[in-house]
């Protein structure tokens, strides 16, 4: 647990009544709320405030449920689903608008009319967490435009995300940016308790889920006034505040120590990683095995394959002019080219085992660039189009929120000159140089010329080993040296082709990768990572949390051209988003049919798989249907995901589909979609894989599915 997580835990305990003991002699919060209502009535009569038409009383009924009575209409409704947690006896739930002036009209002033010596507060003056960084006068700030007046003792709350945690009690009066809301509380409520409440994870999560706006999201006044507040007795509020302030210096100290430790661990991890990587590419990580052959034999196989490709017209004849690097009788490294032989001993940084070989990169990989894609060809949906930024993100995280696409027809046109294939290596050539992404079996994308290069792995080498070498300090040193003194560092095809790389026998390449992974996972990546903030609720002890990718395989449905669809309804029926309803799928009269030659066999729908719209309107995100039998002639379209559970059991598929359709998961899925065009949203496959699912024992899964089906049947029969 880091300092931030510990602080959040303290704040959450505070507002749940778990930080300090309750005192039965404390005047209950219900009395405090009565006094506040009396105070507000007096202020209404004095015409200092207006009557709140949304005023309400929250109480617990005889059935132990929470109810809210609207004072203006007498309407009563159950709010059990809205109440986030239980509170101690003597506490009360209320709305922020009931106990504060948050919704009251704010006093405005133009900065040009304000006293130049008055405090002029801006968001930049407040640190996240509420520490005041500096105080500047209106004159010093050279403030302009409309501002909001605040008084000493007002709570100052930033309504702008990501600055929601910039909250403090004003030590003096002044004026502030309209993005800061000043308000005070009735009934002498402890303001610092309210500040702690507003900083709590409960409020932060709630506000972040309902903020509006794209560029500068902000929370509305209505949202804030309707915010549920757990209100302790007045005396307990002050005890909570005292305890919180007592603990915070220790928490801050712990956080700083933890950050320092994390930095040291990171530095140590990087050092260890580099050392292991260097040992790996020098042939010192695993023993050499004679039976695995030599790199020389591997290079002869590559040469034979090149000759075949040249003969077939798939490779230029110049590819056969590769140099040969060898060790001479003088124990120095020499390079033999077509007509020359020269000593390159000074260029070779270290010795490798006898079974290994040094080569130029062009000897083992076909290095190419993309055909030009103009901005006019960019689309909001289709085949992903990646620049260096996206490839770098894929290399670091394994997924990317892509925003550019090209038409399938253009991608197919480019296929004639080469597109990225599985086990090819994509390398960033501008910006942060040398980030490497290995193309997956499921990948289908194109890339930007000049900013990304494709290292086609045509001869079946171990892609993970090649990635290790290219990311090693030794290899990076080759292009960093060449980039010194240049305005913009770039990697070019010509330069990349000439760089040196050590090559072991093929089987040893795989052993190196496996050993490197094992050592790295133990020494570097073995520390557990806290994921509390990603898990929305507690589960039984016999259950576990899993990522979607641990339970399911996700692939995109069939892609085909519009003209490949036939009108005679023969071939493969294609299910689209409109065929998918909650918990069922249907065949429609206007379904598209495509000849089976245009449909990959892997997309044919089989029993137990789940289908869900991937590109659709926001309200359709999360619709799931489980396929009930094997089909020979039914597939899904390119805007549909085919989800295959690793465990092949119908009730298991049903359970996962039900869970994925739960309100929590649907909201989460909608939160990770990206706008695709005017009305459609794109549910990214890689983003979906990273979501968390609760998993019960198998026997319990069957019981849960049975109960859900029973309840659904009962509802449908009414």
- Tell me whether strands 572-575 and 634-636 are parallel, antiparallel or unpaired: parallel
Provide the H-helix boundaries in 64-137: 96-99
Kindly tell me the burial class for residue 139, based on how many C-beta atoms sit within 10 Å of its own C-beta (0-12, 13-18, 19 or more).
middle
Q: Look at residue 526 in the predicted model and tell me its pLDDT.
A: 46
Cα 429–chain centre separation: 25
Q: Are 539 and 694 in contact (CB under 8 A)?
A: yes
Bridge partners (DSSP) of residue 593 are 566, 573
- Tell me whether strands 640-645 and 610-613 are parallel, antiparallel or unpaired: antiparallel
Residue with tokens 């070779």, as numbered in its chain: 348
State the pTM of this model.
Answer: 0.48
The number of C-alpha atoms within 13 Å of 57 and in the hemisphere containing its C-beta is 17
| CA atoms 411, 415, 419, 422: torsion sign | positive
User: Among 180-189, 256-265, 621-630, 684-693, which stretch is predicted with the lowest mean pLDDT?
Assistant: 256-265
3-state secondary structure of 32: helix
For residue range 134-185, list pLDDT tens digits in order: 889 999 888 888 899 999 999 999 887 666 688 999 999 999 988 899 999 9
Helix (H) and strand (E) counts in the chain: 21, 39
**If you average pLDDT over residues 413-428, what whole number do you get?**
92
Q: Are 160 and 217 in contact (CB under 8 A)?
A: yes
Report d(CA 298, CA 543) in Å as an integer: 49
Mention every residue, 6+ apart, whose C-beta is less than 8 A from residue 531: 545, 692
Instruction: Give kind and range of the element (H or E) at residue 202.
Output: helix 201-210
pLDDT of 570 above 50: yes
Q: What is the 3-state secondary structure (H, E, C) of 360-395?
A: EHHHHCEEECCCCCCHHHCECCCEEEECHHHHHHHH
Computed over every residue of the chain, the mean pLDDT equals 86
In degrees, rounded to 5, the angle at the alpha carbon of residue 422 between the alpha carbons of residues 389 and 434 is 35
Main-chain phi, psi angles of 502, to 5 degrees = -85, 135
Q: Are 335 and 354 in contact (CB under 8 A)?
A: no
Q: Look at residue 537 in the predicted model and tell me its pLDDT.
A: 80
Report d(CA 582, CA 708) in Å as an integer: 14
Structural tokens at position 452: 């990304």
3-state secondary structure of 33: helix
Kindly tell me the burial class for residue 713, based on how many C-beta atoms sit within 10 Å of its own C-beta (0-12, 13-18, 19 or more).
exposed
Instruction: Give kind and range of the element (H or E) at residue 469.
Output: helix 463-470
Residue with tokens 């739960």, as numbered in its chain: 662
Q: Look at residue 189 in the predicted model and tell me its pLDDT.
A: 95
Q: Look at residue 677 in the predicted model and tell me its pLDDT.
A: 47
Structural tokens at position 393: 């993100």
Confidence of residue 524 (pLDDT cuts 50, 70, 90): very low
pLDDT of 427 above 90: yes
What are the Cα distances from residue 586, in Å, to 195, 509, 656, 657? 53, 50, 20, 17
Q: Count the residues in the chain.
A: 718
Main-chain phi, psi angles of 409, to 5 degrees = -65, -40
For residue range 72-99, list pLDDT tens digits in order: 899 999 998 888 889 999 999 999 999 9
pLDDT of 528 above 60: no
Instruction: Give kind and range of the element (H or E) at residue 276.
Output: helix 234-281
Q: Look at residue 40 in the predicted model and tell me its pLDDT.
A: 93
For residue range 456-497, list pLDDT tens digits in order: 999 999 999 999 999 888 888 888 776 654 555 688 888 898
């Amino acid at each position: 647990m880091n300092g931030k997580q510990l602080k959040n835990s303290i704040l959450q305990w505070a507002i749940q009544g778990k930080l300090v003991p309750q005192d039965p002699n404390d005047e209950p919060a219900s009395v405090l709320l009565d006094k506040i209502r009396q105070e507000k009535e007096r202020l209404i009569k004095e015409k200092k405030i207006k009557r709140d038409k949304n005023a309400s009383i929250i109480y617990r009924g005889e059935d132990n449920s929470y109810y809210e009575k609207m004072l203006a209409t007498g309407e009563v409704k159950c709010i059990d689903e809205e109440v986030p947690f239980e509170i101690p006896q003597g506490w009360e739930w209320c709305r922020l608008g009931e106990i504060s002036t948050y919704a009251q009209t704010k006093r405005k002033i133009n900065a040009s009319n304000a006293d130049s010596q008055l405090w002029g507060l801006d968001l930049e003056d407040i640190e996240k967490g509420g520490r005041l960084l500096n105080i500047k006068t209106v004159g010093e700030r050279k403030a302009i435009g409309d501002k909001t007046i605040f008084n000493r003792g007002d709570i100052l709350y930033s309504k702008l995300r990501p600055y929601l945690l910039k909250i403090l009690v004003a030590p003096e009066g002044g004026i502030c940016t309209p993005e800061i809301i000043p308000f005070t509380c009735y009934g002498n409520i402890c303001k610092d308790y309210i500040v702690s409440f507003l900083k709590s994870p409960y409020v932060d999560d709630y506000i972040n889920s309902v903020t509006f706006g794209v560029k500068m999201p902000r929370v509305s006044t209505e949202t804030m006034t309707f915010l549920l507040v757990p209100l302790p007795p007045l005396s307990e509020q002050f005890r909570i505040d005292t305890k919180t302030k007592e603990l915070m210096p220790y928490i801050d100290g712990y956080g700083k120590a933890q950050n320092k430790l994390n930095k040291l661990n990171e530095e140590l991890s990087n050092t260890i990683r580099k050392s292991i990587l260097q040992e790996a590419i020098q042939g010192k990580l695993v023993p050499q095995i004679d039976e695995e052959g030599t790199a020389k034999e591997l290079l002869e196989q590559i040469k034979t394959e090149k000759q075949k490709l040249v003969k077939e017209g798939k490779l230029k004849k110049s590819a056969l002019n590769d140099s040969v690097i060898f060790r001479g009788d003088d124990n120095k490294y020499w390079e033999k080219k077509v007509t020359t032989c020269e000593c390159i001993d000074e260029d070779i940084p270290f010795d490798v085992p006898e079974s290994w070989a040094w080569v130029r990169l062009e000897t083992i990989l076909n290095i190419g660039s993309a055909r030009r894609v103009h901005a006019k060809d960019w689309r909001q949906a289709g085949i992903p189009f990646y620049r260096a930024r996206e490839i770098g993100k894929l290399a670091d995280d394994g997924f990317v929120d892509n925003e550019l696409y090209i038409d399938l027809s253009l991608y197919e046109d480019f296929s004639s000159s080469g597109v990225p294939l599985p086990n090819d290596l994509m390398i960033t050539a501008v910006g942060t140089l040398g980030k490497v992404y290995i193309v997956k079996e499921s990948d289908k994308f194109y890339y930007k010329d000049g900013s990304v290069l494709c290292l086609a792995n045509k001869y079946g080498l171990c892609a993970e080993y090649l990635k290790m070498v290219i990311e090693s300090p030794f290899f990076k040193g080759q292009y960093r040296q060449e980039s010194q003194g240049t305005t913009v560092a770039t990697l070019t095809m010509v330069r990349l082709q000439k760089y040196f790389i050590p090559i072991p026998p093929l089987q040893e390449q795989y052993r190196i990768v496996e050993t490197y992974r094992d050592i790295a996972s133990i020494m570097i990546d073995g520390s557990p990572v806290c994921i509390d903030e990603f898990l929305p609720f507690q589960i039984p002890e016999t259950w576990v949390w899993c990522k979607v990718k641990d339970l399911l395989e996700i692939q995109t449905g069939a892609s085909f051209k519009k003209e490949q669809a036939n009108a005679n309804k023969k071939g493969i029926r294609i299910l689209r988003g409109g065929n998918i309803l909650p918990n069922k799928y249907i065949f429609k009269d206007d379904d598209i049919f495509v000849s089976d030659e245009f449909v990959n066999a892997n997309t044919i729908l089989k029993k137990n798989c789940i289908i869900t719209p991937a590109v659709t309107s926001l309200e359709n995100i999360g619709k799931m249907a489980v396929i009930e039998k094997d089909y020979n002639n039914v597939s899904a379209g390119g805007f549909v995901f085919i989800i295959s559970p690793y465990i092949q059991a119908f009730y298991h598929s049903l359970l996962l589909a039900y869970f994925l359709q739960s309100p929590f998961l649907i909201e989460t899925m909608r939160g990770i979609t990206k706008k695709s065009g005017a009305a459609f949203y794109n549910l990214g496959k890689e983003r979906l894989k990273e979501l968390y699912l609760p998993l019960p024992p198998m026997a319990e899964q069957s019981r849960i599915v049975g109960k859900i089906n029973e309840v659904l049947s009962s509802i449908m029969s009414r």
